[in-house]
Structure 1
Amino acid sequence: MASNVTYHKTEELPEVIPVFPLRAALLLPRGEMPLNIFEPRYLAMIDDAIRGERIIGMIQPDPESSEDEERPELVRVGCAGRLTAFGETGDGRYLVTLTGVSRFRLLEELRDDAPYRKARVSFEEFVADLAPGEGQENVDREALLKTLKDYLTANSLEADWDGIRRAPNEALVNALAMMSPFGPREKQALLEAADLKSRAEILVAVTEMELARARGDASSSLQ
């Protein structure tokens, strides 16, 4: 989904942003994340973001934290997205889309009167995120597609192969990473990958381990 704003330098991004903690959620640069917003604190966050710079940081709670904690510790790296679509449902919910802009490092969490969480962040080390397609020529596309095909076959799933073949490497790697069914630690590893090539390699490795584990379980069940 296209954004009306293009960011060329990290200095163009805000130093303080609202953060949305969501376990096992992964937003990546230029990826699209649809969200169904219904909690009052996050409805307020969306209202304020629309009035402001439309930037929201997606970040995971620390994997060691309990899901029952009201305010769990956060991991140190998240991804900021820009609100690029907004709709009201008529029953008090918002349907929004965040389009990924850049990863950030959380420097400190702030406390104020807002019902949602805010943080001071730095985008400086992730300046390459602002360059579309950066490093995509280094991705082993053949290995990625082979692993994807193996995963789909093992799980009896279909895919739009025409669309997949047309997709540039960046869009393909990031979309597959975001849609992957893996847990918080794997999602965080995909987020923090040094570059697109590394992210693709992590995605292939984690998928192959999952396939091997599934084959092992299947073999055990037949014995």
Structure 2
Amino acid sequence: MRRFKLFLDFEKEARWLNEMASEGYDLVGKSFGYRFRKSKPDNANIKIDYRLFKKQADFVDYYTLFEDSGWEHLAGTKSSGAQYFKKVSKDADEDIFSDIDSKAGRYKRLSQMYLSLAISYLPILVALVTTKAIHVEAFFNPKQLYFTPGLWDKAGADFWGAFLFETPFAFFRGFAWTAFPIMIALCLIFSYKAEQRYQKIKKS
């Protein structure tokens, strides 16, 4: 089973995953959404860290350390960021974090990741503006985006057939670029929220 959700709060995400486990759905992976396997209801204790690794060996050392401490690595890769662990040993601590700094640090890393994404999108947006690939005037005169000769002189079925055929291409020409400022804005918002969460935990 696959579920799609967006979390910016690791505690809320962990609680939801624990609730899913109590309903008999074990987390088995996360890439494009959360992937669950039907199992017996489990009173699970799932915790989430956030780390990126340049080398696979460093990533293996990282999750092996947790598994040696009684926490099974459920999902996450060296470049995915979010790392999911489940307590499997009775002797393991109740949390994967030993102090406030390490618990808060994952939000700082998450905030920096979103900020880096926003910065990486900026050159693309600037390039689109400087090369005049962005048709701002299309907001005021969408007809400019239609290239079919004599389209606006057609009538009846001829007009609607040509109009409906070209509309998806015209939309892509004129408005696909808006994805970049939207992504930049969202990344900045997510970065700010993660930074707020970091500051809140540090002060607690």
Structure with the greater relative contact order (CA < 8 A, sep ≥ 6): 1 or 2? Answer: 1
TM-score, L = length of structure 2: 0.25
TM-score, L = length of structure 1: 0.24
Give the structure with higher Rg (CA): 2
Higher strand share: 1
Higher helix share: 2
